[in-house]
Amino acid sequence: MGTILDISAVDMAFPTPKGEFIALQDVNLKIAKGEFISLIGHSGCGKSTVLNIVAGLHQATRGGVILNGCEVREPGPERAVVFQNHSLLPWLTAYENVELAVKTVFGRRKSRTEIREWVEHNLSLVHMDHAMHKRPDEISGGMKQRVGIARALAMQPDVLLMDEPFGALDALTRAHLQDRLMDIQQTLNNTVIMITHDVDEAVLLSDRIVMMTNGPAATIGEVLDIPLARPRDRLALAEDPEYVHLRSEVLRFLYEKQRKVEGINAGKASDRAGGKRKSVAA
Amino acid sequence: MSAIMMKIRLNYQRVSLSQWGQKLFKSLAMPMLGIAAFLLLWSLAARNIDTSLGQFPGPVAVAEQSVNLWDEHLAEREKAEKFYERQEKRNADRVAKDPGYVPKVRQYTGKETFIDQIFTSLVTVACGFALAMLIAIPGGIATGLSKSLNQAINPLVQLFKPVSPLAWLPLVTMVVSALYVAPDPVVPKSFLNSMITVTLCCLWPTMINTAVGVASIDNDLLNVSRVLRLGALTHVSKIVLPSSVPMIFTGMRLSLGIAWMVLIAAEMLAQNPGLGKFVWDEFQNGSSSSLSRIMVAVLVIGFIGYLLDRGMLAIQRHVSWDKSSTVR
C-alpha cells in the first residue's frame, strides 16, 4: 500500500503580542491508505493544530501536506472532519445534517433516490436509523457524535480526521462507539487520523500511534506500531500480554519521557497559545 | 432542552385539578386586581384634574366614548351603503331610459371613522416595517459577515439610531414632495411620509441584532461549512441565516415595537389618516368629549402594540429552532 497522505516538514507559528509562538516544528509523517493513526500527547502539544493543518483549516507556516499527490490548500470534503463537539447544525434533523453533506458533495452525481439511500445507509452504519428524524437537541451526546461520524463517512473522504471524537462521552458510550468505529473501519477500510487523550483507545483502535512531544515547538517524538490482529476484542485484549506491553509503552512515553513539567497555570497558558481556537493570547 | 420541556409537561399533568384551579385563579386574579387598582386610581385622579376642555376623563367617560366611536363607525357604514344603493338605482334608471349611457360609479367620500383609522395605521406600520426589514436583514447579514464592512457602517448606525421620528419627518416630507410627483398617485403622500419615517426609525434594532447574530455563529459550524466547501449563497442560506434566526427575531420584535410607537407621532405631523391623526384632530377639535376620545385611542394604541408583540412572538416560536431563546 502506497502513501496516501504525506505531512512533510510542517512548522506552525502563531503570532502573539510577545512575538511568534512556535507551536509545531518539523512534523513529518507518511500515512498509507487504510491506515488508522492515533495522535496522542499532552494537551497543548499541538495535536489539534496538526489535524487542522491536514484538514486545511489552518495553513502551515512552513512545509505542507500532500494528499494523493496534491497539496492541501483549503478545507474540503475529501478530508472530512469529525469535530470534538459533534458540530451538527441544531436546526436540522440527523437525516438533514447528513443530507446536506451528501447533497453538497454528490449533488450532481447522485439522483434523489440515490441520495436518500446513501444518507440512510450511512446513518444505519452508526446505528442511527431509528432516530434519524430527530433534531440534535432531542438525542444524547453519543448519538450526536454518531451522526457526526455518519456525516463524515457519507462524504466518502480519502482521509477521515477525528478530533477527540469520543472525548466528551461517558466511558460506556465511548466503548460502544469505539467498537462501532472498528467495525466500520473493518468494512470500509478508511484512512483515519484520530486525536485522543485516551491510551486504551489509541492502542485498541490504531495501526500506529504517533506520540507527540510537549510544546512549544512540538514535534513527533515516537511512532509505535500496533501489530495486534484484527478484528480486535477489548475483553480478550485486556489480558493480552502484547496489548499490555504496548499500552505501557505509550504510558512510558507520556509520563516518563514527556512528563509535563510546567505547573497547571503555565500549562494552561501554553495551551491557549498553542491555538486550539484562533484567539491567541488574550 | 427538550427533556426538560417534557419533564415540565409531565409535572404539569400530574398537578391535580384543584391545584390547577388555584393556578388559574392566581394567574387571572392578580392581573384583575392590578387592573381594578389602576381603574380606581385613575378615576380618583381624573376627578381632581380640571382642564380647559373640562374634567379629565375617568374610566366611565372613556367607556362611553368607545361605545360612541363604535356607533359612529356603524352609522357611517350605513350611510355609505345607502349611498351606493342610491347610486346603483340612479344608474339603473338612466340605463333603462337611455341604453347608450355608460353608468358612472363614484366612491363614497364620507369621513373616516375610528375603526378605519386603526386600519390605516396598521397598513402604514406594516408597510414601513416590511420595508425596514427588507433593508435591515440583508444589511445586517452583510455587516455580520464582513468585519471591515461592520467597521465602516457601525458608526453610522450608532449615529442614526437615536434620532427621533420628529426630526426625520420634515426631511422625509420635503424629499417625498420633490421626488414623488406622479400626476395620479397610487398612495397619498401623507402615507409615504409616515411609512418612510417609520422605516428610518425601526431599521436599527434588527440591523444590529442580525449583525451580532451573524457574527457570533459557532466557529465549529463555520468549519463544517468550510469542510463542505459550501458556496457563498448556500453558506448564507444553510448556515448563517438559520443560526441567526433567534437574534434576528429579537431584533424584529424590538423594531416592531419602535415602529408602532413612532407611527403615531409621524401620523400626527404627516396628517396620515390613522390613529395619530385621530388624536391630533380630537386635540384640535377641543370638544368636551375630546379628551375621552383621545384616551380611548391611547388604550387602543397600547392594546394593538401588545397584540403586535404577541404576534411576533408567536411567529418567532413557530419559525425558530432555538426554543429556549423565545421564552423571554
Give the CATH number of the domain where residue B250 resides: 1.10.3720.10
**Residue B127: alpha-carbon gap to chain centroid:** 10
Q: Please state, in angstroms and rounded to a whole number, the distance separating the CA atoms of residues B324 and B257.
A: 22
In a domain, B276, yes or no: yes
Tell which A residues from 142 to 201 touch B, by Cβ distance under 8 Å. Answer: 155
**From residue B187, how far is each of B16, B119, B265 by CA, in Å?**
58, 15, 20
- Which chain A residues are within 8 Å of B234, Cβ to Cβ? 104
pLDDT digits (tens, 9 = 90+) for A22-65: 888 889 999 999 999 999 988 888 888 999 999 999 999 998 89
- Name which of B222, B227, B322 to mutate to probe chain A: the one with the most chain A Cβ atoms within 10 A of its Cβ: B227
Residue B103 lies in a domain: no
Cβ–Cβ < 8 Å for A37, A194: yes
Q: CB of A97 within 8 A of CB of A88?
A: yes
Q: Is residue B80 part of a domain?
A: no
Q: Quick: pLDDT tens for A114-148.
A: 999 999 999 988 888 888 899 998 898 889 988 99
The Cα B253–Cα B307 span in angstroms is 12
Cβ neighbour number for residue A255 with a 10 Å cutoff: 12
Cis peptide before A231 (omega within 30 of 0): yes
* Chain centroid offset of residue B300 CA: 12
- For residue A89, CA distances in Å to A6, B137, B215, B219, B268 come to 32, 21, 16, 12, 47
Instruction: Indicate yes or no: CB of B227 within 8 angstroms of CB of A105.
Output: no
Using the Cβ of B78 and the Cβ atoms of chain A, whether some distance falls under 8 Å is answered with: no
Could you tell me if B222 lies within 8 Å of chain A, comparing CB atoms? no
CB < 8 Å to A90, chain B: 243, 321-322
User: What is the number of structural domains in chain B?
Assistant: 1
Kindly tell me if the per-residue pLDDT of A282 is higher than 50: no
Best mutation target, A53, A84, A87, A161, to test chain B (most B CBs within 10 A): A87
B245/A contact by beta carbon, under 8 A: yes
Domain enclosing residue B268, as ranges: 114-320
Question: Is B210 part of any domain?
Answer: yes
In a domain, B328, yes or no: no
Q: What span, in angstroms and rounded, lies between the C-alpha atoms of A110 and B305?
A: 51
Give burial (CB, 10 Å; 0-12/13-18/19+) of A109. Answer: exposed
Closest CA to B248 of B205, B311, B307, B305: B205
Contacts of B1 in chain A (CB under 8 A): 137
d(CA A241, CA B49): 97
Tell me how long chain A is.
Answer: 282
Q: Which residue of B has its CA nearest to A52?
A: B223
Query: Does the distance separating the beta carbons of A89 and B243 come in below 8 Å?
Result: yes
Contact A79 B242 (CB under 8 A): no
Which residues, listed in sequence order, are joined to residue A235 by a DSSP beta bridge? none
For residue B2, the model assigns a pLDDT of 55
Q: Is A141 on the interface with B (CB under 8 A)?
A: no
Which pLDDT score is estimated for B55?
83
Is residue B148 in some structural domain?
yes
* Chain B contact set for A162 (CB, 8 A): none
Residue B201 amino acid letter:
C
Closest CA relative to residue B268, chosen from B169, B177, B189: B169
Q: Is the pLDDT of residue A273 over 70?
A: no
Q: According to the model, what pLDDT value does residue A279 have? A: 38
The alpha-carbon gap from A222 to the nearest alpha carbon of chain B, in Å, equals 30
pLDDT reported for residue B56: 87
Measuring CA to CA, how many Å separate A130 from each of A126, A164, A179, A216?
A: 11, 25, 19, 46
Predicted complex ipTM: 0.82
pLDDT at A267: 43
Contact A11, A62 (CB under 8 A): yes
What is the C-alpha R_g of chain A?
19
pLDDT tens digits along A191-247: 999 999 889 999 999 999 999 988 788 889 889 999 988 888 888 888 899 999 999
List phi, psi (to 5°) of A258: -120, 40
Please report whether residue B29 resides in a domain.
no
Q: Tell me the β-bridge partners of B51.
A: B54
Match 509503552 to its residue by C-alpha cell: A249
Query: With an 8 Å Cβ cutoff, is A100 touching chain B?
Result: yes
Rg (CA), chain B: 26
Q: How far is B231 from chain A (nearest CA, A)?
A: 9
B232 at interface of A, judged by CB pairs closer than 8 A:
no
Are the Cβ atoms of B242 and A80 closer than 8 angstroms?
Answer: no
Q: Give the one of B2, B227, B245 whose C-beta lies nearest to A138's C-beta.
A: B2
CB contact under 8 A, B226 and A57: yes
Inter-chain contacts counted by CB atoms under 8 A, chains A and B: 59
Residues of chain B positioned with their CB less than 8 A from the CB of A101: 228
Helices (H), A41-170: 47-55, 94-106, 112-125, 141-154
- Which pairing describes strands A19-32 and A3-16: parallel, antiparallel, or unpaired? antiparallel
Looking at residue B29, what is its pLDDT? 86
* C-alpha cell belonging to residue A29: 509523517
Query: Is the CB of residue A235 less than 8 Å from the CB of residue A204?
Result: no
CA triplet B260, B261, B262: central angle to 5 degrees?
95
* Residue B40, domain member (yes or no): no
The CA–CA distances, whole Å, from A244 to A144, A180, B299 equal: 32, 22, 80
Q: Is B107 exposed, middle or buried, given 0-12, 13-18 or 19+ CB atoms closer than 10 A?
A: exposed
Say how far apart CA B164 and CA B166 lie, in whole Å. 5
pLDDT at B258: 93
Confidence category of residue A277, pLDDT binned at 50, 70, 90: very low
Answer yes or no: are the C-beta atoms of A149 and A71 closer than 8 Å.
no
Residue A104 and residue B84: Cα distance in Å, rounded?
A: 61
A17 to chain B nearest CA, in Å?
A: 21
Q: Which residues of chain B have pLDDT under 70?
A: 1-17, 323-328
Cell of B311: 404576534
β-bridge partners, B50 = B55
**C-alpha neighbours within 13 Å on the C-beta side of residue A169:** 24
Q: What is the pLDDT of residue A129?
A: 85
B4 touching chain A per CB within 8 A: no
- DSSP letter string, B256-309: HHHHHHHHHHHHHHHT-TTHHHHHHHHHHH--TTHHHHHHHHHHHHHHHHHHHH
Instruction: Mark B147-164 as b/e (b = at least 16 C-beta within 10 Å).
Output: eeebeebeeebeeeeeee
Mapped to the 3 state alphabet, what secondary structure does B68-108 carry? HHHHHHHHHHHHHHHHHHHHHHHHHHHHHHCCCCCCCCCCC
- Note the Cα B231 to chain centre separation in Å: 37
Nearest alpha carbon to residue B311 among B239, B240, B256? B256
